[in-house]
Amino acid sequence: MNVILTGSQKNNIGKTIISIKLAIELANSGKNVLMMDLSSGKIKMSEYLNVNEDIIYDIVDVVNKTCTLEQGIIEINENLSLLPCPRIAGKINEIKKESFINLLQSVEVYDYVIIDADKLTSVFIDFSIINNAITINNNDFSCIKEINTDKTISSNAGNFIVAINKYNKKKAKKGIMMKSTDIEKLTETTISSI
């Protein structure tokens, strides 16, 4: 099982859409993929996938053993499933590190688990079981601190990947925002995607 965690210290950066697109591409290539929605963003994975009305149980219900894993998972298609985020605000904060580890161990039948988290700094994440930690940012000046923080926090993950979304090329040329080469230099990372 390959566990991919996406996170961002910014709101409205496109993290959830990127997570869903990645999951769909993997599923279309024949891989069995589970998406876990741990994001408290405005629009949930379930809303983008038009299954919000199908939610009976959520990821916290599975962790707390209110329901079985099978009851919590919504099948999107043959190779793609979703373990949805709670619709009740703040409920996601009930997840503890040990529960998170147990949850990931219980889904080892999947080829890939794509986790959409708010920030990589979420306290329940155990990076030693994460194969790829992806931080998504833009090219404003605060991205340097945010990428470096995420890089440090996720140092136990197999790979740390930086994706720049909403890159503003015009402002980067004017020096109002960061150029991709400067971001790579100041964070000592390679940007995987712009």
Sign of CA pseudo-dihedral 125, 62, 11, 184: positive
* pTM (predicted TM-score): 0.93
Q: Provide the pairing of β-strand 74-77 with 80-83.
A: antiparallel
Work out the number of other CB atoms within 10 angstroms of the CB of residue 89: 8
pLDDT of residue 22: 97
CA dist., res. 15 & res. 12, Å (int): 8
Domain 2-193 CATH (choose: 2.60.120.260, 3.40.50.300, 3.80.10.10, 3.40.50.11610): 3.40.50.300
Supply 110's token pair. Answer: 């999947």
Q: What is the pLDDT confidence band of residue 194, given thresholds at 50, 70 and 90?
A: low
CA atoms within 13 A on the CB side of 133: 28
Q: What residue segments make up the domains of the chain, in order of their start?
A: 2-193
pLDDT digits (tens, 9 = 90+) for 20-61: 999 999 999 999 999 999 988 788 999 999 999 999 999 999
Sign of CA pseudo-dihedral 87, 26, 138, 95: positive
Coil, strand or helix at 107: coil
pLDDT of residue 87: 81
Mean pLDDT of 99-115: 95
CA atoms within 13 A on the CB side of 43: 13
Q: Which residues pair with 6 in a beta bridge?
A: 116, 134
What b/e sequence results for 143-159 when a residue is b if at least 16 CB atoms lie within 10 Å of its CB, and e otherwise?
bbebbeebbebbeebee
In the block, residue with structure tokens 């923080």: 149
